[in-house]
Amino acid sequence: MRMPVDRRQMLLGSGLFLMTLPVSAAREALKIPQGAGPLPAEWIGAPSITLWDGLPPGSPRTAPKPSITLDPTFITGVARPEMRLFRPKRSNGQAILTIPGGAYTFVSIRNEGTDVARTFTELGYTVFVLVYRLPGEGWANRADVPLQDAQRAMRLIKSRAGQFSIDPDRISVIGFSAGGHLAASLITAGRDGCYDGRDAADQLDPLPSLAALIYPVISTEPPYTHQQSVEMLLGPNPTAEAIERRSPARRIGANTPPTFLVHALDDVPVPSQNSLLFLDAMQRARRPVEIHLFEEGGHGFGIGPSNAPAGQWPQLLSAFIARHMAPS
């Protein structure tokens, strides 16, 4: 049951409410996976699948350059978007496309990429980690650029399903933070024509069979939105039409796949109301949906703290997939 909140709580997010609750002074600090650092060996060794032959759509005259100040695991300057492939020792015939976050400013490929791949390959899934183009790096039609890459990635996975020993009708997408916004856009606006087709793969339906949105940015307007993500995607002064096109909760329809939502109630940058907005819209559309709201975890916890309930979401998601995914 959703608790009523006053205007001040709405502006500051549900963390304000939690501050009034008694907390044990002896509570152990959360053990949250870190996103920063050098490139993991497993990332370096993973096969790369380039999304586009030749230049991607809307390429600028000068290719974007990587940041020299951010850690290597926060990827910028994405001139050649790609997927990295991670195979399980024993496949269950299913695949996951994971879309890391980073406020549409960078792509966090450690805590929301390789950590996710390791966790889900252990459960039998073939995992693809998407490195998508960043809309503020000079591309034409900036609001469409990440979605173009997500559409193309899903189509390539389906077109090569036999090569990867997976069922093209049993592919899920997981998105984190701004990557959660991109995943939500894929499942609600993925059939929009965002680029000219280049090969037979582009004739395939880009919708996945199921989605998981982990602390996603859903709202593109105050008071709940993450302003940096919205500005990077839409620019500093987006029109009402641009906001509408990239507000995924407003675009849920009869074809929106079953969706699994995860959020921490103490998430300040992206308040849990974002997931609740998507939940409400899914319920109004009578689409299958499940939500898990955790007391603690903050923002950007990836696969979750190992010493708190939020760290159990991968297993809960696997159970959700098993309930909704048709057997091969």
Low-confidence ranges of the chain (pLDDT < 70): 1-25, 326-328
pTM above 0.85, yes or no: yes
Confidence (pLDDT) at 111: 97
Name the average pLDDT for the chain.
Answer: 92
Query: Helix/strand/coil (H, E, C) string of the chain?
Result: CCCCCCHHHHHHCCHHHHCCCCCCCCCCCCCCCCCCCCCCHHHHHCCEEECCCCCCCCCCCCCCCCCCCCCCCEECCCCCCEEEEECCCCCCCCEEEEECCCCCCCEECHHHHHHHHHHHHCCCCEEEEEECCCCCCCCCCHHHHHHHHHHHHHHHHHHCHHHHCCCCCCEEEEEECHHHHHHHHHHHHCCCCCCCCCCHHHHCCCCCCEEEEECCCCCCCCCCCCHHHHHHHHCCCCCHHHHHHCCHHHHCCCCCCCEEEEEECCCCCCCCHHHHHHHHHHHHCCCCEEEEEECCCCCCCCCCCCCCHHHHHHHHHHHHHHHHCCCC
Fold category of 31-52+65-324 in CATH: Rossmann fold (3.40.50)
Confidence (pLDDT) at 27: 87
Confidence (pLDDT) at 160: 98
